[in-house]
Structure 1
Amino acid sequence: MTTDAAARAVAARKIYGRGETAVTALDDVTIGFPRGRFTAIMGPSGSGKSTLMHCAAGLDPLTSGQVYLGDTELSTLSDTALTKLRRERVGFVFQSFNLLPTLTAAENITLPLALAGVEPDRDWIELVTATVGLDDRLGHRPAELSGGQQQRVAVARALATRPDVVFADEPTGNLDSAASAELLGFLRHAVDAFGQTVVMVTHDPAAAEYADAVVRLADGRVAEQRETSGARR
């Protein structure tokens, strides 16, 4: 594996269940996600794409193999250290937004920093919120925002800690086509302007074309890796 990978999996296997009911979600997957690049993970339902992302992000342990964030092997960390690593070095964007309803947009964005006891870099937060077009919505709570605006808050929150990598799991799944294009444009801009690493699970071929590269899984294995046409950039 190349040393410029922000995150990588080596001989990754993930098996759910035991005996006759066992399901192999990942079957000897070795893959790296390069720094400063946008990678899309695709595949049919049950192909292992979300499992790969969850294991790479430290949300789910492997059955065997290794997952690294930079040079840190996640299986060597205690639960406390793994929680700290995810909070400080990983950003998440989920299909369901996962915002706290009692907090304003601004408070949701800086929540990871507050949990870590870190004072926000106000210049950086202002740049991120301006990039995703939230300047006039920061005092609003999630219920007062559209789905697209809520997901923009989620993207800004993911970027707030300047993480090593942002993992996005079907981030456009609950958005209409206009809001989806807007969100994907923000992720693309984060890569191009900020040097952010983004790994996105998607079922949408049009969404995948915003990425630099596409990894396609089938039956828990890597079936294809290709560069995108770049037509949308």
Structure 2
Amino acid sequence: MTEQRPALQLCHVGRTEAGGIESGFVIENVNFTCEAGTWTALAGPAAAGKTSVLRCAAGLDPVTAGEVRLAAGLRLAHVGLRPVTEQLATIGTLGSALGQLAAGEAEMLHGALHRLDLWEERDTPVLGLTESRQRAAAVAIAVADAPDVLLADDLTSGLPPAGAAAVLDLLRDLVDRQGLCVVSSAADLASLERADAVVLLADGRVVETRVMP
């Protein structure tokens, strides 16, 4: 049996406050591994460190201890770690984005727009969409780039139940069918139910890692 290669590893990762180690750690000794074709959910109370872990994994915040390892040749994307308007700032409409993509990526975006009920709004300026629709559009744009690893924060924030379910189901299908590795913060039961593993955080540290049945 061939051993599966880790897609993303956080190896005893820590990040201190701006004032240095004397000011304390934002996250400390965070250690877990994510395989291709799996979904890892980060859970825990507010200020547990979920967003900080994701930002460090994405390279948006500096790691001051340990190491983030992305397997060689893999492509990483993230959504929700920057303002949605910033992520979509260079996109006029979803329809225009379709016309600028290579065939495979355009097909992926086309499918995502239908899955997320955005097809009828493809010619509406994305910054003119409602905030929740912008969030769904950001997910569609992120997966259209065909990343190997997707980091996602507050995936379903502000979305109505049907819209939230559509986003979660789309990503679960990409995990199962295309081997996408997803690492996301989980704020609700629906997000946890889609995950293969849950990393529970408290006060910036991992307190439990659980494989879901």
What is the TM-score normalised by the length of structure 1?
Answer: 0.77
Give CA deviations for 1:120-169 in whole Å, capped at 9, x if unaligned: 32233223322341443322212443444323321121122221211111
Give CA deviations for 1:66-93 in whole Å, capped at 9, x if unaligned: 1111148xxxxxxxxxxxxxxx922222
Structure 1 residues 176 and 62, CA gap change in structure 2 (3 angstroms): same
Q: Counterpart amino acid of 1:62?
A: V
Q: Counterpart amino acid of 2:199?
A: V
1:163 is aligned, of 147, 170, 184, to 147
Structure 1 residues 23 and 124, CA gap change in structure 2 (3 angstroms): same
Q: Which residue of 1 aligns with 2:102?
A: 121
The share of aligned pairs that are identical, in percent, is 33
Moved more, 48-57 or 150-159: 150-159
By how many angstroms is 1:205 displaced? 2.7
By how many angstroms is 1:177 displaced? 2.0
> Would you say the 8 A contact 2:153–2:185 is kept in 1?
yes
By how many angstroms is 1:63 displaced? 0.8
> How far, CA to CA, are the matches of 1:191 and 1:109 in structure 2?
23
> Would you say the 8 A contact 1:109–1:156 is kept in 2?
no
Q: Counterpart amino acid of 2:176?
A: D
Q: Which residue of 2 aligns with 1:76?
A: none
1:103 is aligned, of 85, 92, 108, to 92
Structure 1 residues 71 and 10, CA gap change in structure 2 (3 angstroms): farther
Structure 1 residues 159 and 173, CA gap change in structure 2 (3 angstroms): same
> How far, CA to CA, are the matches of 2:175 and 2:211 in structure 1?
16
2:159 is paired with a residue of what secondary structure?
A: coil
Q: Which residue of 1 aligns with 2:7?
A: 6
Q: Which residue of 2 aligns with 1:77?
A: none
Q: Which residue of 1 aligns with 2:56?
A: 55
> How far, CA to CA, are the matches of 1:122 and 1:196 in structure 2?
19
Structure 1 residues 173 and 21, CA gap change in structure 2 (3 angstroms): farther
Unaligned runs of 5+ in 1: 73-87, 111-118
Structure 1 residues 108 and 216, CA gap change in structure 2 (3 angstroms): farther
Moved more, 217-226 or 202-211: 202-211
1:215 is paired with a residue of what secondary structure?
A: strand
Structure 1 residues 109 and 132, CA gap change in structure 2 (3 angstroms): same
Aligned residue pair count = 205
> How far, CA to CA, are the matches of 2:90 and 2:141 in structure 1?
14
Q: Counterpart amino acid of 1:182?
A: A
> Would you say the 8 A contact 2:9–2:69 is kept in 1?
yes
2:156 is paired with a residue of what secondary structure?
A: coil
1:209 is paired with a residue of what secondary structure?
A: helix
> How far, CA to CA, are the matches of 1:109 and 1:56 in structure 2?
29
Structure 1 residues 132 and 37, CA gap change in structure 2 (3 angstroms): farther
By how many angstroms is 1:194 displaced? 2.1
2:167 is paired with a residue of what secondary structure?
A: helix
